[in-house]
Amino acid sequence: MKKQDMEYINKIYRESLKPDWDELDKKETHQGQDLERPIYLKQYQSDIIIDLDMNVSHLEKHSLMESIQLRKSTRQYKDQALSFKELSYLVINTCKIHRIGKNWTMGVIPTPGATKSLETYLYIDNVEGLTKGLYHYNGRDNKLYLINDNVDINLVNKALRNQFRGAQVVFFWTTTPERTEYKYSFTAHKMISMEAGHACQNLYLNSTCLDLGMVAIGAYSQTDSDKLLDLDGENEFTIYMATVGKY
């Protein structure tokens, strides 16, 4: 890429990080025009639905303050399974939805205007009692749905750009931008990125609480990860991911 082209692209992306709220006329947003609201909770059909174990608070090995100070990135994992309770703890404290209203959802991470643009998928490779495969977290009933039990680990690693490195679980966060655009128009995109950061930080701290390793991955293959999750890459696409495991 030529230097002037890179500088032009950098300028565009910088502008997207500083939208002018004074220019936002809420009457001109889709919500302001009373247009139909996008579906804000994705649901799959599955023959295998996993009830998370809610009795997991006793698993913590570090306090919140300790976890903040000890947090680090781990890029290599032991060949040792996560327990189902450990997985439940991570999902509950990273994804759980507490309340659902007519036009909003509220959960364990802050989302712009309670619009919840994110969906969470998990590739589970080595968790006690669970089938290997790709799962989706259902925010309506707070359960995991197995959506693909025939996943080639090489495709997962390809999506991660060869950063799987023996992880027991991979978290994939996707965004459906129109959920937030509906309310916030051109100011939505900065907040969507912040929402993904909130989710990943929760996962970092909760992994540390359990003395597990984790690393956030932003340098992934967009095409391969969207293909792995069977997304159209336009209305829903991968925005962030992380690997978790024993270290």
For residues 206 and 90, the answer to whether their CB atoms sit within 8 Å is yes
In whole angstroms, give the CA distance from residue 105 to residue 172.
Answer: 20
In whole angstroms, give the CA distance from residue 2 to residue 16.
Answer: 22
Predicted confidence at residue 15, as pLDDT, reads 87
Predicted confidence at residue 132, as pLDDT, reads 97
Residue 180: Cβ-neighbour burial (10 angstroms; 0-12, 13-18, 19+): buried
Structural domains for the chain: 48-245 (3.40.109.10)
| Number of helices and strands in the chain (H, E) | 7, 9
Predicted confidence at residue 3, as pLDDT, reads 74
What residues of the chain score a pLDDT lower than 50? none
Predicted confidence at residue 4, as pLDDT, reads 75
User: Which segments of the chain does DSSP mark as H helices, in order?
Assistant: 3-16, 64-70, 84-95, 153-159, 178-184, 188-209, 222-228
Predicted confidence at residue 1, as pLDDT, reads 73
Parallel, antiparallel, or unpaired: how do β-strands 213-217 and 118-124 relate? Answer: unpaired
Predicted confidence at residue 25, as pLDDT, reads 87
